[in-house]
Structure 1
Amino acid sequence: MFYTIIEQVVNGIVSGSVYAIVAVGMTMIFGVLRAINFAHGEYYMLGTFGAWFAIEYFDLPYPVAVVIGVVATAVIAVVVGNFVMQRIVGAPAEAGVLATLGVALILQNTVILVFGGSYKFFSGGYIEPVTLFGFTLAEQRILIIIVSLIVFVGLELMVTYSRMGKAMRAVSQNIECCAVVGIDVRHIALWTFILGAGLAALSGVLTAPVNVSVYGGMGELITFKTLPIIIMGGLGNVRGTFVAAMILGIAESLVATYVGLQFRDTVGFATLMLVLMWRPHGLFSAQARF
């Protein structure tokens, strides 16, 4: 019994690591642009399809496919960022919602039109089992946890010490003052968006070998799993996002095992409601962004 619980907690940490990489990009975008990106899951999907295309059509090794998937998504994010995301900086919240929903529909249906709506088999990744401390995990799952930790440590260092990171923190706190002192708010918003989309794509290509299949609509579920995480963590709070992602991942794993797999996807919003009843502003303050 105890072993089973620990095993599910470990599986939950793996899922939480995936959610954390996706959600941190969305929460950073919200912190700077003040807009929830409802197309965020589509960049997760684009990264996965980019890697799948590289493996399927060019027979490239998985590490190279990962780079291609992330870079291809970043290029698309540059286009979307210039034509859409920069224009919603300072705009009413409704404009951001409608714009990003429109982008999500365009990206999703373009992929379905080009590659078809059927499920595709993802053949890359490291699926050999490894036993650690009595637990058996696929190499890919261990890689996901390691990359998640590297990403968050890297982000912490970036926003604390780099010029761009300091500018991102400043814009997240007060857009008007940043514009007055000469910070190019639109430039910062663009690069924050590209970084967020790239992280979503990275999560997608890391998860694809575990999910085995890819399809055009896979981004929708990720978006709706990410929303409770960023709200629970405190909108715009990076550290809170990591903790909330781990809570959701572990809760989903335990519910799937002891309640039923069909209830797994309801855990996010159920957990969100419980948290908001206790702390209406989330587990962490939204004021402590980055």
Structure 2
Amino acid sequence: MGSFLLEQIVNGIITGSMYALVAAGMTMIFGVLRAINFAHGEYYMLGTFASWWVISHLATDYPLAIIAGVAMACVIAAIVGRLVMQRLVGQPFQAGVLATLGISLILQNAVILAFGGGYKVFEGGWIEPIELGDFGMSQQRVLLLLVTLVVFAGLEWMVRRTRLGRSIRAVSQNIECCQVNGIDVEQVVRRTFLIGVAIAALSGILTGPINVSIYGGMGEAITLKTFAVIVMGGMGNVRGTLIAGCLLGVVESLVAGFIGLQYRDSVGFIALLLMLMLRPHGLFSSKARF
């Protein structure tokens, strides 16, 4: 019983790491735009499909496929960022919702038209097991956890120590003041958007070998769970996102292990409803942004 419980907790932390990795990009975008990017899961999907394609059709090694997948997602994000995202600066919240929902539908259907709506098998990754005490896990799961910790440490250093990070914090606090003081807000939005998309694509590529199968609508479920994570962690709070993501992953894993797998996906929505009713600002104060 104790070994099974420990296994569920470890698996939950790893799953939560993926949620947190995707949510980190979404919460950064929210911080500078005050808008939820409902197309964020589609960049997770794009990175996964691009990596799958170069592995399946070009016989590329997995490390090169990671680079190719992130690069492809960033190219598309650069176009979307210049044509759409930077134009949302200062616009009503509803404009961001409608614009990103439209982008989500376009990207999702473009992938389905290009590759079909069926499931694809993601080949590649490091799936050899590692023995940890009484249970084992694949190297890919350990890699996902380590990458998550490195990415969050890098984000913390970036927002605290670099010029771009200081600009991101400034824009997240007062856009009008930044414009008056000569900060190129649109450029900050584009760069933040690219960072967020790159992280989401990387997360998709790293979880591809774990999930094994991928499909054109996979980004939609990720977007909904990511939204639950950023609400739990505090809108715009990157550090809170890591804790909230791991917490959601652990609870989902425990529910799947002790109650039933069919109830796992309901956990995020229940947590979202409870958080909105009991603590709308999330587990951390909205003043703790970045």
When the two structures are superposed, what TM-score results if normalisation uses the length of structure 1?
Answer: 0.98
Alignment of 1:72-83 (within 5 A): 72-83=72-83
AA paired with 1:105? Answer: L
What corresponds to 1:260 in structure 2?
260
Find out whether 1:151 has 2:151 as its counterpart. yes
Give 1:274 shift: 2.9
- How much has 1:276 moved relative to structure 2? 3.8
Deviation at 1:267, TM superposition (A): 0.3
1:259 CA displacement: 1.0
CA contact (8 A) 2:256 2:262 kept: yes
1:190 aligns to what SS in structure 2? helix
Structure 1 residue 226: deviation in Å?
A: 0.4
TM-score by structure 2 length?
0.98
Query: Aligned-pair distance for 1:126?
Result: 0.7
Deviation at 1:272, TM superposition (A): 2.3
Q: CA deviation at 1:289?
A: 1.1
* Aligned residue-pair number: 290
Amino acid at match of 2:90: G
| CA–CA separation in structure 2 for the residues paired with 1:275 and 1:189 | 28
Q: Is the 8 A contact 2:3 2:134 kept in 1?
A: no
Q: Distance in 2 between matches of 1:44 and 1:113?
A: 18
Letter in 2 for 1:128: E
Matched residues in 2 for 1:3 and 1:213: separation? 28
Aligned to 1:30: 30
User: Counterpart of 1:237?
Assistant: 237
Residue in structure 2 matched with residue 134 of structure 1 by the alignment:
134
Which residue of 2 is the match for residue 112 of structure 1?
112
Superposed displacement of residue 257, structure 1: 0.7
Q: For 1:149-228, what aligned pairs fall within 5 Å after superposition?
A: 149-228=149-228
Which residue identity lines up with residue 155 of structure 2 in the other structure? L
Determine helix, strand or coil for the equivalent of 2:28.
helix
For the pair 1:99 / 2:99, whether they are aligned, the reply is yes
- Structure 2 residue matching 1:130: 3-state secondary structure: strand
After superposition, the C-alpha distances for 1:90-135 in whole angstroms (9 at most, x for unaligned) are 1001100000000000000001111111111111101111012333
Provide the C-alpha distance between the structure 2 equivalents of 1:31 and 1:2, rounded to a whole number of angstroms. 41
CA distance in 2, matches of 1:70, 1:117: 22
Tell me how far 1:273 sits from its aligned partner: 2.7
Tell me how far apart the structure 2 counterparts of residues 97 and 277 of structure 1 sit (CA, whole Å).
22
Sequence identity percentage: 62
Q: Which residue of 1 aligns with 2:5?
A: 5
